[in-house]
Amino acid sequence: KIKHGTLVGVKGAIGGGKSTLLAAILGETNLIGGKLRRYVDSISYAPQMAWIFADTIRANILLGKPMDEERYKNVIKACCLDIDLKNFGEVGDLLMIGDKGINLSGGQKARISLARALYADAALYLLDDPLAAVDSNVAKKIFDECVGPHSLLRGKTRILVTHQTHFLVAADQTILLANGHIDEVQIKEHVVNELSNDQTETDSSNNKETDWTLKSAIIDINPIVK
């Protein structure tokens, strides 16, 4: 079970089913076993492949939602986009990007995609490896400011897929996926002990991509307490 307001980490080898688990929660893939019960009415999703459309940076983040100046500024800072906007000069977040604008780096695209997810006021946040496209220093700041226990999303339910397992010591529980199955659900103390004993799983032991469907999942996301 996933309780309201907790941070849940998801780890596993490449091709193990991490992204597909999130797709199952979104209702975009079919289970062929197990159960998934979802009691939330709003979900915000940051996909592994950042999606950017031809418009301004601001429009990409707001995605049609009304501007909340304070929330917007906090999200920009948390996603480490404030320095980028300064470097863009006077145009700032009104810079055109996408097919008709300038080319962005992979890290910039990932941070804009994450900012879009954070700006939405949702009950559940699904974050698919948002730290992969940035360097270690930026990844730590993004985790601390966006995802961690003292971040903008504190008090929200967060499911974070990451290969950087050292961040999972802050998770309330961690789901280990293997070959399309939920192999294990670890509490925080287990993850801390595993890391301290240098027994964390790495993708180097299994870098073969596989085609599969989610074979088994039992997930119960508790109702939101107003």
Q: Distance between CA 113 and CA 160 in Å, rounded? A: 15
Phi/psi-derived region of residue 126, left when phi > 0, alpha when psi is between -120 and 50, beta in every other case: beta
Tell which residue, 201, 24, 49, has the closest CA to residue 128. Answer: 49
Q: Tell me the pLDDT of the chain (226 aa) as tens digits.
A: 888 999 999 999 888 889 988 998 898 877 766 677 767 779 999 999 999 999 999 999 999 999 999 999 999 999 999 999 999 999 999 999 988 788 899 999 999 999 999 999 999 999 999 999 999 999 999 999 999 999 999 999 999 999 998 999 999 999 999 887 887 887 755 555 555 554 444 444 444 433 333 444 445 554 333 2
Q: In whole angstroms, what is the distance from residue 61 CA to residue 68 CA?
A: 12
Residue 1: its pLDDT value, please? 80
* pLDDT score at 207: 45
| Distance between CA atoms of residues 210 and 207, nearest Å | 9
Pairwise CA distance, residues 145 & 151, whole Å: 4
How confident is the model at residue 37, as a pLDDT? Answer: 72
Distance CA 165, CA 132 (A): 12
Q: How far apart are CA 14 and CA 179, in angstroms?
A: 9
User: Shortest CA distance to 54 belongs to which of 110, 84, 95, 115?
Assistant: 95
Domains in the chain and their CATH numbers? Answer: 7-221 (3.40.50.300)
In whole angstroms, how far apart are CA 68 and each of 116, 208, 226? 13, 44, 22
Question: Could you tell me which of 141, 154, 140, 186 has the C-alpha nearest to residue 11?
Answer: 186
Helix (H/G/I), strand (E/B), else coil: 117? helix
Helix (H) or strand (E) holding 30: none
d(CA 56, CA 51): 13
Q: What is the pLDDT of residue 115?
A: 98
User: Strand 157-161 relative to strand 7-12: parallel, antiparallel, unpaired?
Assistant: parallel
